[in-house]
Structures are given as C-alpha cells and as structure tokens.
Amino acid sequence: MIIGVPKEIKNNENRVALTPAGAKELVKRGHTVYVQHNAGEGSGFTDAHYTLAGALVLASIEEVYGVAEMIIKVKEPIEPEYKLIKEGQLLFTYFHFASYEPLTKAMIASKAVCLAYETVEKTDRSLPLLVPMSEVAGRMAIQKGANYLEKPLGGRGILLGGVPGVLPAKVLILGGGIVGTQAAWMAAGLGADVTIMDVSLQRMRYLADVMPANVKTMMSNEYNIREMIKDADLIVGAVLIPGAKAPHLITQDMLKDMKQGAVVVDVAVDQGGCIETCKPTTHENPTYVIEGVVHYCVANMPGAVPYTSTLALTNATLPYAIQLADKGWKKAAQENPELIPGLNIINGDIVFEGVAQAFNAPYVPVNKYLED
Ligand SMILES: NC(=O)C1=CN([C@@H]2O[C@H](COP(=O)(O)OP(=O)(O)OC[C@H]3O[C@@H](n4cnc5c(N)ncnc54)[C@H](O)[C@@H]3O)[C@@H](O)[C@H]2O)C=CC1
Ligand SMILES: CC(=O)C(=O)O
Ligand SMILES: [Mg+2]
C-alpha cells in the first residue's frame, strides 16, 4: 500500500503519526511510505531519519495527499486539508466528529473512508488509541491547572499542595476514566485535596481501592456537582461517552457559584466539552475568563509535549496501521472487530451512530460496507 504521512498543521501540533521505526516496519512489509518534508521535526525526527528507515520524503502536503492510498495523521484534517482528500482514500487519525459539524460535512463530501483513532474499541470497551493521549492530557491537566491558578496568570493564587499549616487546594475531577485517573495521581502527588466524580460505581470502587487517601470518590449527578463546584479551586473535565458529544455537566449559570480565580481545564473539549462555557482554544492562546473563572480548553494538549506523545501514540497506532496496510481497511476490519467502531464515515455515509445523532443526520449501519 502507498502510505502518506503529512506534517500536522494545527496550531502548535508537534506530533507526527509515524516514527522512523514505524516507517521501517511498514517498508519491511513491502509498503511504500511517503513522509512530508519536516513532518517529524517537532518530535525530534529529521528527514534523514525517515530516509534511512526506507521512507521517501516529499516536499509538499499536496504531494503526500495526492499519492497516498492511506493517510496516517494525528489531528483531524483542518480546513486547508479538506480539498486535498480524495474519494476512497483511507484516513487514519483522530477526528472527534461529534464536536464539529463542518468537519463531518467535509468528510461526507470527500467520500473518503474515515477511521477514527478515538473510537477503535477493544472487547473490554477500552479505547486503545485514545488511552495513550488521555494519559498525557490527564497528567498535563494538573500541570496546566497549577500554573493558571497562579495570580499573574489570572488564577486565585493558591498552591495545589498548600504548605504546613495551610490547607491544600481542592481539585474536582469530572470523569474517572483515563484522563481523570492520571489527573488524580498527579494532583494527589502534589498534595491536593482531590475528588473524582463518575457515574460508574464499578469505576469508583476501583479508584477507591488504588488511590491514596487524599483522593475521594463521589457519584456524579447535578445535585452533587452543584455542591462541589462551590469549593473547587481547580476542575478537570474528563467525561466521555465514546464518539458522542460530551454532556454539559457545568452550565453557564453554575459558574457564578464558583470561586473567583478558580480554573477549569476541560480536557473533554475535543468532544464538545463537559463545561458549557468551554470552547476550543489553542496552545498559543489557551485561556479566557468567564464569570471570573479561568477556562483552559486546548483540544490538542499532547501536541505540546511531542517527545513523549509521538512515541506513546505511535506505540499504540502502529499495529493497527500495519493491519490496514497489509489487508486494506475492509479485510482488516472483518478480521479485527476492534477496528469496526473506528469506522465513522465511509463513502459519504455516517456509519457511527453517535455522530449521526449529534447532527440529526442519517445513519447507515457499518455492516453495509463490511459484507463481501
Ligand atoms: N484535549 C485533549 O488534548 C485531549 C482530550 N482527550 C479527551 O478527554 C476525554 C476523556 O477521555 P478518557 O479519560 O480517555 O475517557 P474514558 O472513557 O477513559 O473516561 C471517561 C469517564 O467518564 C465517565 N462519565 C461518563 N458520563 C459521566 C458523567 N455524566 N459524569 C461523570 N463521569 C462520567 C465514564 O464513566 C468514564 O469513567 C475524551 O473526550 C477524550 O477525547 C483525551 C486526550 C487529549
Ligand atoms: C485525543 C486528542 O484529541 C489528542 O491527542 O489531541
Ligand atoms: Mg461545550
């Protein structure tokens, strides 16, 4: 198969979807890998690293999209890329369709095959291609939150861990999955007073078992959330309903009950955000203030730590990329059911129910495309 790896063009997105090691594995299997000039630069990989691994370097993004049967990327295509995508081309990347209708419409119009990292799902319901970046973003959420709680950056000026004789800050985490768990470890390690809210009792039982004593769990419902936000210094938004738009657990009217200078880091912003007032921001301009509450809503947080994130992401994606390259998307999905929920849009049809629901659009069961 002919595989293309473009350079990411989203703001401060320094990850790359394939490492030279990954390129070598694909080339070894007889595939042709084209990498855009400088695609790996932000992650520490030069064109020469890719060439030595057997890949071919192309000067422009147009050439990469023009030649490739499968595009492997990190972030969803953004407007300048829409016109480059070809009918029947396989796109293997994050999409987060339910949060952005223009992208969904553009991919329908392209008639490409959109296989989304974030909805590839194992039989135990885990999301193997989201997990590594959720681990990064969960850890970063506390670094960012601690930072923006500092007075010069707009926060209320509280140290997460406190000091002897002074109480620590209160950290509220909405959603105790991967992001929430990693955020809790970090906040707890710094000595904060941490509460994780989830709707899954099973998950909270697990968390109660493994977390240190400064992490508590509480059922997530509107009543409890309204109580808890009054005292919170830092709130991390970490809920997920896979493939669907995130529920707004904190609505705009609730912000007035929060402390002035409190910080919200809505990691779930890529699925629309679980705090109503969260709108996607960039690493260049990451925060804004509403009702005295600092909002941090960067949709590609891991892009800022590419040395960690590129390796973590590609460790997880490469085995799937190899299956797709070796067999083509249809046979790969027929033989590995984990790939089936990753299929979101095929040939202009929305084949993932949560995306169709988000836009009240027609849904076509994916089986239509999987039968021989
Ligand atoms: N902004 C960024 O750069 C990044 C964003 N993310 C996003 O972070 C979000 C969370 O991802 P993961 O932790 O991997 O998901 P996950 O599936 O591991 O965890 C989600 C948790 O939310 C819980 N939940 C569902 N409804 C809830 C409710 N009403 N109240 C409280 N909890 C609820 C679930 O029970 C589950 O435990 C996703 O939207 C993901 O795309 C992930 C990585 C990077
Ligand atoms: C998951 C995601 O959106 C990211 O890593 O950027
Ligand atoms: Mg929102």
Q: Side chain identity at 29, as an amino acid letter? A: R
| Section 359-366 average pLDDT | 98
Choose which residue among 76, 122, 222, 267 to substitute to test ligand 1 binding: the one with the highest number of ligand atoms within 8 A of its C-beta: 267
3-state class (DSSP) for residue 83: coil
Tens of pLDDT, residues 100-132: 999 999 999 999 999 999 999 999 999 999 999
Specify whether 154 is located in the same domain as 117.
no
Tens of pLDDT, residues 317-357: 999 999 999 999 999 999 999 999 999 999 999 999 999 99
Which pLDDT belongs to residue 219? 98
Which atom of ligand 2 sits closest to the CA of residue 270? Answer: 3
Choose which residue among 8, 173, 240, 267 to substitute to test ligand 1 binding: the one with the highest number of ligand atoms within 8 A of its C-beta: 240
Q: Which residues line ligand 1 (CB under 6 A)?
A: 118, 130, 133-134, 137, 174-180, 197-200, 203, 220, 238-241, 247, 249, 267-271, 299-302
Specify whether 88 is located in the same domain as 22.
yes
**How is residue 177 written in tokens?**
């999955």
Name which residue sits closest to atom 42 of ligand 1, judged by CA: 134
Query: For this structure, is 349 an active site residue?
Result: no
Instruction: Count how many residues are written for the chain.
Output: 372
C-alpha to C-alpha distances, 105 to 38, 76, 80, 195, 304, nearest whole angstrom: 30, 13, 14, 39, 28
Domain end (from 268, 287, 304) = 304
Specify whether 160 is located in the same domain as 210.
yes
Q: Which ligand number lies closest to the CA of residue 93?
A: 2
**How is residue 364 written in tokens?**
């076509």
Q: What average pLDDT does the chain have?
A: 98
Specify whether 269 is located in the same domain as 245.
yes
The residue to which tokens 């293309």 are assigned: 4
Which pLDDT belongs to residue 301? 97
Specify whether 147 is located in the same domain as 185.
yes
Tens of pLDDT, residues 228-239: 999 999 999 999
Report the percentage of the chain scoring pLDDT > 70: 100
User: What is d(CA 330, CA 5) in angstroms, rounded to the nearest whole number?
Assistant: 21
Question: What does residue 16 show for φ and ψ, rounded to 5 degrees?
Answer: -135, 150
User: What is d(CA 23, CA 292) in angstroms, rounded to the nearest whole number?
Assistant: 48
Whether the per-residue pLDDT at 372 is higher than 90: the answer is no
Question: What does residue 142 show for φ and ψ, rounded to 5 degrees?
Answer: -80, -40
Specify whether 195 is located in the same domain as 339.
no
| Section 151-180 average pLDDT | 98
Domain end (from 279, 304, 329) = 304
**How is residue 1 written in tokens?**
């198969």
Q: Which ligand number lies closest to the CA of residue 119?
A: 1
Choose which residue among 134, 274, 278 to substitute to test ligand 1 binding: the one with the highest number of ligand atoms within 8 A of its C-beta: 134
Name which residue sits closest to atom 6 of ligand 2, judged by CA: 300
> Which of the four pLDDT bands, split at 50, 70 and 90, describes residue 79?
very high
**242: domain range?**
131-304
Specify whether 160 is located in the same domain as 273.
yes
Name which residue sits closest to atom 5 of ligand 2, judged by CA: 133
User: What is d(CA 116, CA 344) in angstroms, rounded to the nearest whole number?
Assistant: 7
User: What is d(CA 290, CA 80) in angstroms, rounded to the nearest whole number?
Assistant: 31
Q: What is the CATH number of the domain that holds 61?
A: 3.40.50.720
Specify whether 86 is located in the same domain as 114.
yes
Return the closest-CA partner of residue 305 out of 10, 44, 32, 39: 44
Residue 96: alpha-carbon gap to chain centroid: 8
Specify whether 218 is located in the same domain as 348.
no
Specify whether 198 is located in the same domain as 336.
no
C-alpha 175 – ligand 3 centre gap (Å): 16
Q: Is 193 left (phi over 0), alpha (psi -120 to 50) or beta?
A: beta
Domain end (from 286, 304, 322) = 304
Whether the per-residue pLDDT at 134 is higher than 90: the answer is yes
Which atom of ligand 1 sits closest to the CA of residue 297? Answer: 1
Please count the structural domains in the chain. Answer: 2
302 lines ligand 2 (CB under 6 A): yes
123 contacts: CB under 8 Å, gap ≥ 6: 337, 338
Name which residue sits closest to atom 2 of ligand 2, judged by CA: 300
From 31, 96, 193, 198, the catalytic residue: 96
C-alpha to C-alpha distances, 170 to 188, 214, 333, nearest whole angstrom: 10, 10, 45
From 233, 266, 270, 349, the catalytic residue: 270
Specify whether 122 is located in the same domain as 142.
no
| Section 60-82 average pLDDT | 98
> Which of the four pLDDT bands, split at 50, 70 and 90, describes residue 248?
very high
C-alpha 205 – ligand 3 centre gap (Å): 29
Query: For this structure, is 253 an active site residue?
Result: no
160 lines ligand 2 (CB under 6 A): no
The residue to which tokens 């105790």 are assigned: 176
Specify whether 275 is located in the same domain as 148.
yes
| Section 136-165 average pLDDT | 98
The residue to which tokens 């989830």 are assigned: 198
Which pLDDT belongs to residue 353? 97
Tens of pLDDT, residues 187-246: 999 999 999 999 999 999 999 999 999 999 999 999 999 999 999 999 999 999 999 999
